[in-house]
């Protein structure tokens, strides 16, 4: 299957679908503003975000008194940007990349590392050069620390980053019958990456100090290496570029973009079409996304993604018209998402969250119900200027839940809709 463009002008339900996927959700008015527009134009516009941040963010990680507090403030600051920021697609992409190039606050406890890494993910959110993105990641102190490459030196390689670079960040494993790389590639890659480390910001006492990437020639193995079939005195830059530009990388990362934006179970033909665009444009992710977000496949596969905990939280608040929450409530939302299985900047493992049906279990469903009650019926529930419409909540003009909602007041209706299977899907 190729990625046929979606040629029809956007209907209200198309527009609602687009905003569920790219903006966590939206109000009726925001949806209506896209009706009648051209799909390609809408996608291009959404992708041409700037780097400006939401004004008035109450959280500043450098105000943390301990590493754990700073990390919590970094999470709060990010959630604020998702809830109220001007570029929801940029944040949605940063969330996707944070689940691809994973770091975690269990090891990265330095506040400037966390904010710097998040800024990097935003800067490359719709990158035009995936290899450059991967290289910036590989040299960022947060990643050097998280996967121990800061300890990787000549003669005594530490393989952690080298392995995950291939397995999780670029080519993927492949199949047992046709692996995408060998153990030898992992060893040789680790040798090439020796000497990349960082200065400053080490230890719990220095969690506010700014770290800085350094390459130490005396710790670098300058011998000849063979990596994914290429030989020579390969450097760390060479290794990352070789891995990032492999054809398998195009397919592996394209599949993740389809999982993030099209379906938990992507159509392999459509993934192959994105991979082809990726290869043709030398890893221009922006071009891949623009094509994808204006394709027939994107507009046809409705209700095919189970919203993650963070998407559920942000989606609810944005659909309710972005009511103001106080700082404490927002930190509670960070914790609630964590209880449902998604703590920002701390996936369970370096593989990231698998997502899809993995988000759903008894405890997570219970927490979704509690959160919905708190946002609509609770004593401290935000006041809503007008209750959201079926189009905003469910993406359809006629609510399939009408029979259940008859006779309820607007708050009760909103509560019941937020806990329905339909709202939990995008």
Q: State the residues that interact with another protein by CB under 8 A.
A: 106, 147-148, 151, 153, 155-160, 163, 167-168, 173, 176, 183, 186, 264, 303-306, 339-341, 348-351, 357-358, 360-366, 369-370, 373, 377, 400-401, 403-405, 407-408, 412, 415-416, 419-422, 424-425
**Residue 204 to residue 206: CA distance in whole angstroms:** 6
Query: Is residue 80 within 8 Å of residue 330, measured between CB atoms?
Result: yes
DSSP for 312-371 reads HHHHHHHHTT-----HHHHHHHHHHHHHTT--TT--SSTT----GGGG--HHHHHHHHHH
Degrees (nearest 5) of the Cα angle 12, 15, 21?
A: 140
Question: Shortest gap between Cβ of 16 and another protein (angstroms)?
Answer: 16
Q: Which is nearer to another protein, 57 or 370 (CB)?
A: 370
Q: Which is nearer to another protein, 85 or 189 (CB)?
A: 189
Q: Which is nearer to another protein, 35 or 416 (CB)?
A: 416
Question: Shortest gap between Cβ of 360 and another protein (angstroms)?
Answer: 5
Q: Which is nearer to another protein, 46 or 186 (CB)?
A: 186
Q: Which is nearer to another protein, 125 or 310 (CB)?
A: 310
Q: Which is nearer to another protein, 144 or 288 (CB)?
A: 144
Question: Shortest gap between Cβ of 244 and another protein (angstroms)?
Answer: 19
Q: Which is nearer to another protein, 18 or 353 (CB)?
A: 353
Strand partners, 230: 227
Question: Shortest gap between Cβ of 261 and another protein (angstroms)?
Answer: 15
Query: Is residue 391 within 8 Å of residue 13, measured between CB atoms?
Result: yes
To the nearest 10 degrees (0 to 180), the angle between helices 183-192 and 236-244 is 140
Q: Which is nearer to another protein, 151 or 222 (CB)?
A: 151
Tokens, residue 15:
């527009």
Question: Shortest gap between Cβ of 400 and another protein (angstroms)?
Answer: 6
Question: Shortest gap between Cβ of 50 and another protein (angstroms)?
Answer: 34
Any idea which residue has 């689940």 for tokens?
99
Report the SS3 class of residue 117. helix
Strand partners, 227: 230
Count of CA atoms in the C-beta half-sphere (13 A) of 15 = 22
Residue positions counted in the chain: 426
Question: Shortest gap between Cβ of 202 and another protein (angstroms)?
Answer: 12
CA 116 to chain centre: 16
Question: Shortest gap between Cβ of 175 and another protein (angstroms)?
Answer: 8
C-alpha distances out from residue 418 to 66, 276, 334, 389, Å: 36, 38, 18, 12
């Amino acid at each position: 299957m190729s990625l046929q463009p979606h040629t029809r002008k956007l209907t209200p339900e198309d527009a609602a679908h687009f905003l569920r996927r790219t903006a966590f959700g939206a109000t009726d008015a925001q949806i209506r503003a896209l009706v009648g527009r051209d799909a390609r134009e809408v996608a291009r516009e959404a992708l041409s975000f700037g780097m400006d941040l939401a004004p008035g963010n109450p959280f500043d990680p450098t105000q943390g008194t301990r590493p754990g507090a700073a990390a919590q403030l970094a999470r709060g600051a990010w959630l604020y940007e998702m809830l109220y920021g001007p570029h929801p697609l940029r944040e949605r992409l940063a969330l996707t990349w944070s689940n691809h190039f994973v770091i975690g606050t269990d090891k990265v406890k330095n506040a400037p590392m966390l904010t710097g890494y998040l800024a990097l993910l935003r800067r490359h959110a719709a990158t035009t050069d995936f290899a450059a993105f991967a290289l910036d990641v590989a040299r960022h102190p947060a990643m050097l620390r998280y996967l121990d490459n800061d300890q990787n030196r000549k003669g005594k390689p530490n393989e952690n980053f080298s392995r995950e670079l291939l397995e999780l960040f670029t080519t993927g494993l492949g199949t047992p019958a046709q692996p995408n790389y060998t153990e030898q590639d992992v060893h040789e890659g680790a040798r090439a990456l020796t000497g990349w480390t960082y200065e400053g910001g080490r230890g719990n006492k220095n969690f506010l100090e700014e770290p800085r990437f350094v390459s130490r020639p005396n710790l670098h193995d300058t011998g000849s290496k063979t990596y994914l079939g290429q030989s020579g005195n390969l450097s760390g830059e060479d290794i990352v570029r070789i891995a990032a530009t492999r054809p398998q990388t195009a397919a592996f990362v394209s599949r993740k973009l389809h999982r993030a934006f099209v379906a938990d179970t992507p159509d392999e033909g459509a993934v192959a079409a994105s991979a082809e665009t990726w290869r043709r444009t030398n890893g221009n992710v922006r071009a891949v996304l623009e094509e994808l977000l204006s394709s027939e496949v994107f507009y046809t596969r409705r209700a095919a993604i189970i919203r993650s905990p963070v998407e559920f939280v942000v989606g609810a608040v944005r659909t309710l018209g972005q009511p103001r929450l106080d700082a404490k409530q927002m930190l509670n939302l960070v914790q609630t998402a964590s209880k449902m299985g998604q703590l920002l900047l701390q996936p369970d493992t370096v593989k990231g969250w698998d997502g899809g049906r993995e988000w759903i279990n008894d405890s997570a469903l219970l927490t979704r119900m509690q959160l919905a009650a708190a946002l609509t019926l609770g004593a401290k529930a935000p006041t809503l200027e007008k209750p959201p419409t079926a189009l905003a909540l469910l993406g359809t003009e006629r609510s399939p839940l009408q029979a259940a909602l008859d006779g309820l007041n607007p708050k009760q209706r909103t509560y019941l809709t937020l806990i329905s299977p339909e709202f939990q899907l995008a």
